């Protein structure tokens, strides 16, 4: 079992809709959770981080963490075509300091 799992997609949503991206992780002691956006041919760009159970909102983005279920999600409200990218979930495990990434979910927002 890979340490961080994401559905590779593609996830297709119409412009203005809510996009929901999900991620599960295997290390129950993980403490830090991150969402990166990666446009084709570009490097990952940090968009959200969350350390505590619950929701964290930043503009159109909401990160949700449920440590009991080992589940992290990212909601993008009012999706725009410019949100079309691959979204990478990353976790820092209990014993480590390095980010462990999932394979990423490709999001396509159609206008």
Interatomic CA distance for residues 92 and 4, integer angstroms:
10
Interatomic CA distance for residues 8 and 21, integer angstroms:
10
Judged by CB under 8 A, the chain residues 34 through 73 that form the site for another protein are 34, 36, 42-46, 49
- CB count within 10 Å of CB 58 equals 11
Using left for φ > 0, alpha for ψ between -120 and 50, and beta otherwise, residue 59 falls in left
Tokens of residue 61, six digits:
């983005």
Q: How far is the CB of 78 from another protein (least distance, A)?
A: 25
Choice between 36 and 79, CB closer to another protein: 36
Question: Is residue 33 within the footprint of another protein (CB under 8 A)?
Answer: no
Residue selected from 12, 32, 66, 110 as contacting another protein according to rule CB under 8 A: 32
Residue selected from 25, 65, 84, 101 as contacting another protein according to rule CB under 8 A: 101
User: Which residues in this chain contact another protein in the complex, by CB under 8 A?
Assistant: 4, 31-32, 34, 36, 42-46, 49, 88, 90, 92, 96-104
């Amino acid at each position: 079992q890979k340490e961080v799992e994401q559905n590779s997609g593609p996830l297709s949503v119409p412009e203005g809709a809510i996009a929901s991206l999900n991620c599960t992780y295997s290390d129950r002691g993980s403490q830090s959770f991150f969402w990166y956006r990666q446009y084709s041919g570009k490097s990952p760009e940090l968009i959200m981080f969350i350390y505590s159970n619950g929701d964290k909102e930043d503009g159109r983005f909401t990160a949700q963490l449920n440590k009991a279920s080992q589940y992290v999600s990212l909601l993008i409200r009012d999706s725009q075509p410019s949100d079309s990218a691959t979204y990478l979930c990353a976790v820092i495990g209990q014993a480590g300091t390095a980010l462990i990434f999932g394979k990423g979910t490709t999001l396509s927002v159609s206008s």
